[in-house]
Amino acid sequence: MTTFDGLFCVLLAATLGSVPKYLQDKPSELYVRDGDKLVKAPQEDVVVARAYSEFSDKGEIHDGQRITIMTARTQYRIGEEIRVIHVLEAPVAGHKIYVMGPKMIQEEYVDGQLASAPSSGFYSYDGLVIDSPGVDFNYEISIYKFTKPGTHLIQWKGGGHPIQGNLDLTSNVLHIDVKN
């Protein structure tokens, strides 16, 4: 083994060791709604979600939790489908994570305008709840198509299951560049 190979192995081990166990190999699958049925999301969405552990533009941690949104890329053509993946991460102990889903997205903004349902109403929950540290990828995938070129901004606020109320979380901002 050369010095370079040995250094590469050390760096690879350090990188793999830096990914928390609760993020390793996550998610294995995603689901979307097709009418009244839950079906597996396209593999392309799973690939985007699986990049989360190494994604550098995550939302800020607030009270031990954060929300993040991701897309396959940041440049699209007019009319092209843009699929937004949503993630809630609680990297510290002491939080409950309501992982059953996919949960409806509320308080998502496009170019500063509310583009999803607002947070409101009474909600019940009869599903798996896990303790943090952990991660939840079980959210609806938002789909947008832009008809005008330029830079469009997408941001998600609140996060978590609606039964938890407003977690006062704010995601990263996606800057989507749309061209003719």
SS3 content of the chain, % helix, strand, coil (to 5): 20, 35, 45
Say what the pLDDT of residue 51 is. Answer: 97
Please count the residues of the chain: 180
Q: In this structure, what are the phi and psi dihedrals at residue 3, rounded to the nearest 5 degrees?
A: -60, -40
What are the residues whose beta carbons fall under 8 Å from the beta carbon of 80, sequence distance 6 or more? 145, 178
pTM of the model: 0.87
* Residues 32-83: tens digit of each pLDDT: 999 999 999 999 999 999 999 999 999 999 999 999 999 999 999 999 999 9
Which residue ranges make up each domain of the chain?
Answer: 21-179
Strand spans (E) along 65-173: 66-70, 75-77, 82-90, 96-98, 108-110, 113-114, 129-131, 134-136, 142-144, 150-158, 169-170
Of the candidate CATH numbers 2.60.40.10, 3.30.9.90, 1.10.3720.10, 3.90.850.10, the domain formed by 21-179 belongs to: 2.60.40.10
SS3 54: helix
